[in-house]
């Protein structure tokens, strides 16, 4: 029933009074949509087309670029930068899992256990947004500084031994290692996990917990069989909202990492803004977009929450 624009209702009496005023109303949605959609078409969709065309151009900055259908750029970009791609997926994936593990208890706490503190905690989750995220990310430089209390504590608890065995830290440093980047990504995108989780948990009727308990489920069983499945929409949208921006991020890798932690975002940024190799940058950006769209589509299908979108 989405295309009823032109199906006028069957009018049995040809001499019925004209209903012009109402018919004119059918154009209203198009006028409402026009400016916003035009904006998105010109400044979101059209640029993607331009980018696709740039990615198959050759030439130089001095002589200009021409479309030569040079698909080899894609191959070259992939073979040169596959480690950065891999790193992006690994770092973003780790950060997403950490966000879920850290965020779920807090979302649960706000939804069911916070009582009159609920609003205050919600404000505290959102308020850091208002301090520029760059400033907050720089603060991690202080927190994770070499020889600082955090690193010292991790060292004496032998946590750093485990992490360097995993290959995410080196020696007794945390800063400028993959761990620091993952920690920064987790921190930056944690609210994007907590808020959708909270929204879907909050919708769960508290009586369901009592009903499950009444039907012989222990608290842990209740969580596994009732609460968690019902919070799946929040889990899916939370993981998407965390993974997608994290995979394209380059700020954390730049501020907290080293040259060995460069992610694909760093490469795109450098190629575009410093080296000015537009075709390679465009190809990389296109691959990243395609990879994420494929993963997201697959993930949404798999988790059976297609109605989410």
CA distance 240 to 300: 9
Locus of tokens 């720089």: 138
Residue 16 binds other proteins (CB under 8 A):
yes
Residues 275-304 that bind other proteins (CB under 8 A): 278, 281-282, 285-286, 288-289, 292-293, 296
Q: Spell out a b/e string for 203-228, using b for 16 or more CB atoms within 10 Å of the CB, else e.
A: ebeeeebeebeeeebeeeebbeebbe
Residue 35 binds other proteins (CB under 8 A):
yes
Among 196, 234, 238, 265, binds other proteins (CB under 8 A): 265
What separation, in Å, do the N-terminal and C-terminal C-alpha atoms of the chain show? 19
Q: Which is nearer to other proteins, 113 or 225 (CB)?
A: 113
Residues 61-100 that bind other proteins (CB under 8 A): none
Sign of CA dihedral 276, 282, 285, 291: negative
- Taking residues 154 to 183 in sequence order and writing x for each that binds other proteins by CB under 8 A, - otherwise, the string is ------------------------------
Checking DSSP bridges between strand 57-60 and strand 64-67, what pairing results, if any? antiparallel
Residues 195-254 that bind other proteins (CB under 8 A): 240, 244-245, 247-251
Among 181, 190, 201, 212, binds other proteins (CB under 8 A): 190
User: Are 206 and 112 a contacting pair, CB within 8 Å?
Assistant: yes
Residue 256 binds other proteins (CB under 8 A):
no
The least CB distance from residue 77 to other proteins, in Å, is 13
Q: Which is nearer to other proteins, 29 or 304 (CB)?
A: 29
Using the contact rule CB under 8 A, the part of the chain among 75-83, 153-161, 189-197, 210-218 near other proteins is 189-197
Residue 145 binds other proteins (CB under 8 A):
yes
Locus of tokens 């151009």: 57
For residue 129, give Cα distances in angstroms to 177, 188, 190, 287: 25, 9, 11, 30
């Amino acid at each position: 029933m989405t295309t009823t624009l032109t199906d006028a209702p069957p009018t049995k009496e040809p001499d019925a009074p004209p209903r012009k005023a109402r018919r004119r109303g059918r154009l209203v949605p198009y006028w409402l949509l026009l400016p916003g959609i035009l904006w998105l078409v010109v400044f979101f969709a059209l640029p993607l087309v331009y980018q696709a065309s740039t990615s198959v151009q050759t030439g130089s900055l001095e002589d200009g670029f021409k479309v030569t259908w040079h698909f080899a750029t894609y191959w070259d970009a992939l073979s040169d930068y596959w480690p950065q791609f891999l790193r992006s997926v690994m770092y973003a994936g780790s950060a997403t899992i950490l966000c879920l593990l850290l965020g779920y208890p807090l979302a649960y706490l706000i939804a069911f256990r916070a009582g009159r503190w609920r609003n205050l905690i919600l404000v505290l989750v959102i308020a850091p947004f208002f301090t520029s995220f760059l400033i907050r990310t720089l603060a991690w430089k202080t927190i994770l500084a070499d020889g600082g209390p955090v690193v010292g504590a991790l060292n004496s608890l032998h946590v750093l031994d485990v992490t360097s065995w995993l290959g995410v830290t080196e020696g007794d440093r945390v800063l400028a290692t993959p761990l620091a980047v993952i920690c920064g990504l987790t921190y930056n995108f944690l609210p994007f996990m907590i808020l959708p989780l909270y929204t879907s948990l909050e919708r769960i009727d508290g009586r369901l917990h009592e009903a499950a308990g009444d039907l012989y489920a222990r608290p842990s069983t209740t969580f596994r069989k009732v609460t968690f499945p019902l919070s799946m929409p929040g889990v899916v949208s939370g993981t998407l909202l965390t993974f997608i921006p994290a995979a394209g991020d380059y700020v954390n890798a730049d501020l907290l990492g080293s040259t060995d932690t460069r992610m694909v975002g760093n490469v795109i940024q450098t190629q575009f803004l410093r080296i000015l190799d537009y075709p390679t940058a465009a190809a990389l950006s296109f691959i990243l977009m395609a990879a994420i769209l494929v993963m997201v589509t697959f993930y949404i299908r798999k988790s059976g929450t297609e109605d989410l979108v």
